[in-house]
Structure 1
Amino acid sequence: MRSLRLLRSARLNAMTDADREWLASIGLRTVIDLRQGFEIRAWPDALGTLDVARINTPPSLEAENDPGLTFFGLYLSWLDDSGTAFADAVRALAAPDALPALVHCTAGKDRTGLVVALVLDVLGVEEKAIIADYMETDAMLRADKGDIVYEYTITADLIVGALAHVRSRWGTAEAYLLAHGVTAEDLAALREGLLAPE
């Protein structure tokens, strides 16, 4: 993969001038926000005057109202019921001049983790590398979670199970995205934008 083309993060409400300067220095062009409106109102992005396209494509949180739902069940509900939101995020990444791009939600681990895992799987990244990338969020939050408050920590079996669910129901991550509105042309553009030339 090409470096500094696809970034992921927790919410961006506590950004500093140095943060904004660094994002400007890498030429950031797109910020994809997977949060619901109430989260955006609670923690508005501090992007300042950065000249970036801002795209909001939130997966549904309705399943959280089910008291019997497990944390893994929440992941599956997003995959089953919010495929269009994930597809919209991927289509935004594939748009002309969209990269470098940053994807984020509130803690940067669950909704963001799923989107990035789907993208990495489509790019042909080995599953062990997808897991390592996913678990990096846990390591970062343990080291310094800042003002991020979250109820559930992540484990490797969450992303392994999520990808297995995608493969069981749709065959591949690519087929999953195609079924929810991403085109073959989008995926070709995504690969061109994110994969280093051979």
Structure 2
Amino acid sequence: MNPRIIALQGASNCRDLGDIRAADGRHLRRGLLYRSDSLAELTEADCERLEAIGLRTACDLRHESERILKPNRLPAGMQIRQHAIGFFPRGAKELIPSLGLHSDEMAVHSALTGYYRRFPLDHANDYARMFDAILEPDALPALIHCTSGKDRTGFGVALILMALGVSREDIVADYLLSNLAPRNLRFMVPKGVPESALSALMKVRADYLEASFAAIDEHWSSEQDFLQQAIGLTDRAISQLGDLMLL
């Protein structure tokens, strides 16, 4: 098992972002930034694990309807600031009901690629709120999560790593670790959906995140311009982020 993976009983795709190398040679500090899938089914032991790491902030990228259906279960008594920043990617509400007996993995791949191309265009304001949350005083350690912890969370974490100066190659390498322990999404799809289509829905591919990068490259002159113009990160905020998270 990858040493950055946090083994939880009620969540399958949780890991520490620590040790990822930035372009200036510094590394992300361990124990400051985490990513995960749903926190709705955490056990008592899981809650004790989160309590032990001193979690202070949780950015929930699930849509309101997802949060209502499966509320987070977090350690009782801990003052964890929860930020509801959720949304459905364009086409997501239509994709799941459309899956049926004859669905194939290519249809799922096509839909997911479309999500990723729209993330930087449709949801920059949502991700700006994520940055605001983790840059609040005493916000760290922080955790970013959604339902499966791979798509909305995957792009959100990619933006944080981008702001820290991590190379695209290393961003994609972390992103692909979600395939080591994918969230079982059978509960979301209609009965009879082929395993190949379900597996495609549960997994990530490098070309998904690369579709987001391509959209950024097409609409902004550089990653820095995207972070400043679309996300609203100032040079001071980017410097603050590095001072907080890099060692």
Question: In 1, are the aligned partners of 2:50 and 2:75 still within 8 Å (CA)?
Answer: no
Structure 1 partner of 2:245: 194
Q: Which amino acid aligns with 2:159?
A: L
Matched, 1:63 2:91: yes
How many residues end up aligned between the 2 structures?
A: 193
Which of structure 1's runs of 4+ aligned residues deviate more than 4 A? 65-69, 146-151
Please list the CA deviations of residues 70-128 of structure 1 after superposition, one character each: whole Å capped at 9, or x if unmatched. 32111122221111001110121122111110000010000000000111111111222
Question: In 2, are the aligned partners of 1:11 and 1:104 still within 8 Å (CA)?
Answer: yes
TM-score by length of 1: 0.87
Structure 2 partner of 1:32: 59
Residue 65 to residue 52, structure 1, CA distance change in 2 (3 Å): closer
Q: Which has the larger radius of gyration?
A: 2
TM-score by length of 2: 0.71
Q: C-alpha separation between the residues in 1 aligned to 2:242 and 2:222?
A: 16
Matched, 1:185 2:213: no
Residue 190 to residue 162, structure 1, CA distance change in 2 (3 Å): same
Q: C-alpha separation between the residues in 1 aligned to 2:122 and 2:238?
A: 21
Question: In 2, are the aligned partners of 1:13 and 1:43 still within 8 Å (CA)?
Answer: yes
Structure 2 partner of 1:131: 172
Structure 1 partner of 2:37: 10
Q: Which one is further off, 149-158 or 20-29?
A: 149-158
Please list the CA deviations of residues 3-23 of structure 1 after superposition, one character each: whole Å capped at 9, or x if unmatched. 121100001011112211121
Matched, 1:41 2:68: yes
Q: C-alpha separation between the residues in 1 aligned to 2:145 and 2:186?
A: 13
Structure having greater relative contact order (Cα 8 Å, sep ≥ 6): 1
SS in structure 1 opposite 2:91?
helix
Residue 87 to residue 173, structure 1, CA distance change in 2 (3 Å): farther
Residue 126 to residue 71, structure 1, CA distance change in 2 (3 Å): same
Residue 127 to residue 12, structure 1, CA distance change in 2 (3 Å): same
1:145-164 map, 5 Å: 145=183, 149=187, 151=198, 152=201, 153-164=203-214
Give the one of 109, 117, 126 matched to 1:85: 126
Q: 5+ residue gaps in structure 1?
A: none
Q: C-alpha separation between the residues in 1 aligned to 2:39 and 2:115?
A: 24
Shift of 1:167: 2.7
Q: CA RMSD in A?
A: 2.2
Q: C-alpha separation between the residues in 2 aligned to 1:21 and 1:148?
A: 28
Q: C-alpha separation between the residues in 1 aligned to 2:137 and 2:227?
A: 18
Shift of 1:48: 3.7
Q: 5+ residue gaps in structure 2?
A: 1-27, 96-106, 189-197
Structure 2 partner of 1:19: 46
